Amino acid sequence: MLLAVDVGNSTTVVGVFCGDRLLHRWLLSTSTGRTVDEHALLISGLLERAGMELQADLTGVVVGSVVPTVTETLRALFLRELSGDAHPVVIGPGVRTGIAIRHDHPQDLGADRIANAVAVSALYGGPAVVVDLGTAISVDAIDTSGAFIGGAIAPGILTGAEALATRAARLPTVEPVAPPSAIGRSTTTALQSGIVNGAAGLVDGLVSRISLELGQGVTTVATGGTAELVLDRCGTVDHHDPALTLKGLRLVWERNAR
């Protein structure tokens, strides 16, 4: 069994693979304050619910993290708990991804963007666009050779909504759901329309512009924790894969385990 851990700014996704099959997927809140022991309890508890043990049943661990303090905590945890061939692979400099990264500053790329590119390149080929809707909205480009060449980053749906409520004294915090019409008949529905329809328009706009630069035959794949809020209002997304980042992490682990 392979344990894959995707640490985002807001949410941590934990998955267990048997070969290329995702058996379990759990969502945790990301916390920079958790100790090695606290992470051990959380992950061991999830595995126990699935009838597995951290030390006995794992053949490997792969971690992709955009939160440096959590990255180091998890690295220390798995180095302590695992032995033999079940060494942790942590996405970062020196780790083989199997794809070319044609980016001006590859050391600045988040592990999630790399893992998404690896998964889309392997599963769909290029040219392709990856849309990851989380704390930020990243829209990334894969060229015809399957290489990551860059993309765009915008505020996430919830991030933008929270910033608006914080900076505008008379605007309330609202639930980010789509209202019945684009024209809001109240402040609440006007905010909901702006948040949800605005995010859908942002996604479509960026995908269209990036696709135009990539050329013909572009496939667009969406993932991320807030994707379901807007995808039914997007006209540019071909596939929705909530486990895309985990699948990319699995592929990175395989390419380094060999």
Q: Which residues are catalytic?
A: 112
Kind and range of the H or E run holding 87: none
Joined together, the tokens standing for residue 99 give: 């794809």
Cβ–Cβ < 8 Å for 36, 19 = no
From edge to edge, which strands make up the β-sheet containing 239-240?
148-155, 136-142, 128-133, 219-223, 239-240
Q: What does the chain come to in residues?
A: 258
Quickly count helices (H) and strands (E) in the chain: 7, 10
Question: Who contacts 21 (Cβ-Cβ below 8 Å, separation ≥6)?
Answer: none
Cβ–Cβ < 8 Å for 16, 24 = yes
Joined together, the tokens standing for residue 63 give: 């971690």
Joined together, the tokens standing for residue 228 give: 């379901």
